[in-house]
Chains A and B, each alone.
Chain A
Amino acid sequence: MIEPAERMAIRLTVNGREVAREVTARRSLADFLRDDLMLTGTHVGCEHGVCGACTVLVDGRSARSCLLFAVQLDGAAVTTIEGLTPPTGLSPLQQAFCDRHAMQCGFCTPGMIVVSTELLEKNPAPTAGEIREALAGQLCMCTGYVNIVKAVEQAAATARGARGEAS
């Protein structure tokens, strides 16, 4: 008979801060972030990888935090919506979501911001089609997709303007 570990000690970086905790083996990353670290910006929707609300960045790449166990993140760097928010005010993406009325109930917004951040890092000037493709794994049950796409377009244009590029 195998005796699996019930609890494990993990050490990881969350939003730039070192975190060391002992967690149960079954704890999801989403629950670890929300209930152990009190980072409740990461929302839990479907809990089976379909809705995208819980998406975070793991070592810079988007991942569903409901489909990862916290113990798998030992040594990893995790970025949540809190880590994408400046100490005061809003990030350009967050500001664009406000300006463009890109949130209704706001439940999907953290996941939308996380994948939009990833998209704009890889592709600073995405087309509307590319934005839709990147956001295809994020469900907005208010169905406010048009304004979300406009917000990402605005944030991209703002960032290009700040760098002095033609938009």
Chain B
Amino acid sequence: MRPHTLADVVKLLSGGDPDVKILAGGQSLVPMLNLRLLRPAVLVDLNGVPGLDGIAPDAGGGLSIGALVRHADLMAAPLVIERAPLLAEAARHVGHAAIRHRGTLGGSLAHADPAAELPAALVALDARFVLEGGKGRRHVSAADFFQGLLTTALAPDEILVEAHVPPQGPGWGFAEIVRRSGDFAVAGVIAHVRRRPGSVVRCDVARLVGFGVGDRPVRFRAAEDLLMSDDDGLSIARVAGAVTCDPPDDVHASADYRRHLARILTGDVLGHALGRTDGARRS
């Protein structure tokens, strides 16, 4: 099915048929179809709906990004590079060029792979998602949207139409460890922080988000709290050491190794983030 309005998409999803899937870029869904892991009776192709592929500035200095924006456009858009460089950097690390030409922001978010870059980036940016469904439109924070392995807050009759990204500060860092270029991350960490004026390390706002280290994007709360505390002798190493997570144990890496990477990468990205902050001394 190839509807031409969002209302028609929602109508198709609200028909009570549970065997309906939305096709956006198809870079996660079609492999699952080809491997016969999924056999939906109906595919609703979103690509015929106009107006979902825009990147627009928000009044407050943020961005509104449509669900059908391709990763290749997200990483190259001057507006994204200027207002949310963290997001452009994360998009650059998704798959390979041929995947990024087709894969969409909305698709990546709705698929909710815990090792994916973009869900973690939008949690780090404190983004809000616009969901459209049979009961109308609602907004969900990125943190509340991701509920577990391939599981989101989307109801069966809802579709993610847009992400609102608040203005990003200068303090950010991104790092991931992959076995081969373009793979899903064994582990990765994104930092988005605001350094406290006059401090070297201490921050007023801190978001440290890991991916590939849990069943969803994971905020390292203990490390964030330490980073924002009045603790004497605060250092990047101590913050990194405070990272706790419960990563998966699989053929690619052990849980211990992923936890080790989460701590090492947290130190790296926090260093990058503080280094990018104006006036910071590098330590």
Contact = CB atoms under 8 A, between A and B. Distances in A.
Interface of A: 1-2, 4-5, 25, 28, 47-50, 52, 55, 58, 61-64, 66-69, 71-72, 115, 118, 132-134, 136-137
Contacts of A28: 34
7 contacts: A4-B1, A49-B30, A66-B30, A67-B27, A67-B31, A72-B47, A118-B97
Dominant secondary structure at the A interface: mixed
B279 interface: no
B15 A62 contact: no
A143 to B, nearest CB: 13
Interface residues of B, number: 29
B181 A133 contact: yes
B102 A63 contact: yes
B1 A64 contact: no
B101 A62 contact: yes
Interface of B: 1-2, 12, 15, 17, 20, 23, 26-27, 30-31, 34-35, 41-43, 45, 47, 72, 95-99, 101-102, 180-182
A137 B97 contact: yes
B182 to A, nearest CB: 5
B35 to A, nearest CB: 6
Given A61-B72, A66-B34, A115 B97 contact: yes
A137 B96 contact: yes
Contacts of B42: 2, 4
Contacts of A66: 30, 34
A136 B15 contact: no
